[in-house]
């Protein structure tokens, strides 16, 4: 029994079993918010190798899961490794199509999730019902989660943990191009509302931006911002530059 108690566990799984189950007469979850992640973790039966490694305690951090190189195909893996993810619905569109049987109505939903501390995911899904499509988009966004590098790339920034991007980076989606530039601490997010939603969930609090193309397209604007954050991981940075730019990767800002 003592060996089981000493076995390391993912933070989400530990929190799920530490949280008491809801009593029959207790408060119920609000309708429309989807299933409870804690209850899903308690009843979770992994179907993939990575999921079994997370449940057994072999992997207790999301960085270790990325290091394995195995794809994340279960939402419970992300909930176990990064508990308390916040979600934001960026766009909801109604798509109508005329068919022989009548008018066909579907919904297009874009959702973004993140912990506001270096991890963010984005996804777009289609469905017949709004509520089901929103939950599907949130689940897919968790499966597409990435690590975001933050740093103090501006010459006006001081010492301390990075709150901006470490260097200039550009993302593209369709005709929309978003260029993120390092900004000093306290400047804020100088970007459109759609890009601000993605950067806020990613944990970036200061940035300059430059845009080109059809920026009124909400979906492409969000995708371009997300792709710019992905490009940060494609650059190789030396240890010296990491220390100079105060680059952090998904850790709690102090």
pLDDT in tens, 65-120: 999 999 999 999 999 999 889 999 999 999 888 887 788 889 999 999 999 988 99
In a domain, 254, yes or no: no
Closest C-alpha among 142, 147, 146 to residue 125? 142
In a domain, 22, yes or no: no
Containing structural domain, residue 141: 86-145
In a domain, 210, yes or no: yes
Q: How many domains does the chain have?
A: 3
The lowest-confidence range among 27-36, 112-121, 211-220, 235-244 is: 27-36
Task: Quote the tokens at residue 198.
Answer: 């993605």
In a domain, 183, yes or no: yes
Of 55, 81, 107, the domain-final residue: 81
- Do 76 and 94 reside in the same domain of the chain? no
Task: Please report, for residues 68, 215, 228, the alpha-carbon distance to residue 71 in angstroms, rounded to integers and kept in the order given.
Answer: 9, 32, 21
Residue 240: count of CB within 10 angstroms of its CB: 8
- Do 136 and 161 reside in the same domain of the chain? no
- Do 39 and 74 reside in the same domain of the chain? yes
Rounded to two decimals, the pTM is 0.86
The span from the CA of 74 to the CA of 12, in Å, is 14
Structural contact between residues 207 and 199, judged by C-beta atoms closer than 8 angstroms: yes
- Do 126 and 138 reside in the same domain of the chain? yes
């Amino acid at each position: 029994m003592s060996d089981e108690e000493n076995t390391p566990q993912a933070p989400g799984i530990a929190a799920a079993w530490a949280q008491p189950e809801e009593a029959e007469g207790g408060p119920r979850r609000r309708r429309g918010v989807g299933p409870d992640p804690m209850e899903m973790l308690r009843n979770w039966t992994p179907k993939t190798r990575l999921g079994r490694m997370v449940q057994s305690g072999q992997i207790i951090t999301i960085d270790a899961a990325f290091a394995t190189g195995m794809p994340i195909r279960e939402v419970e893996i992300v909930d176990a490794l990064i508990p308390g993810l916040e979600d934001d619905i960026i766009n909801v569109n109604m798509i109508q199509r005329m068919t022989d049987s009548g008018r066909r109505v579907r919904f297009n939903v874009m959702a973004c999730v993140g912990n506001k501390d270096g991890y963010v995911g984005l996804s777009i899904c289609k469905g017949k019902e709004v509520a089901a499509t929103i939950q599907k988009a949130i689940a897919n966004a968790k499966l597409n989660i990435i690590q975001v590098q933050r740093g103090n790339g501006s010459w006006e920034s001081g010492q301390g943990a990075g709150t901006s991007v470490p260097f200039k980076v550009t993302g593209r989606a369709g005709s929309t191009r978003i260029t993120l530039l390092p900004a000093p601490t306290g400047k804020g997010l100088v970007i459109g509302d759609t890009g601000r939603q993605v950067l806020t969930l990613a944990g970036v609090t200061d940035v300059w931006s430059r845009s080109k193309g059809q920026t009124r397209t909400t979906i492409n604007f969000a995708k371009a911002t997300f792709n710019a954050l992905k490009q940060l991981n494609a650059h190789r940075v030396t240890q010296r530059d990491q220390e100079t730019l105060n680059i952090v990767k998904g850790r709690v800002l102090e």
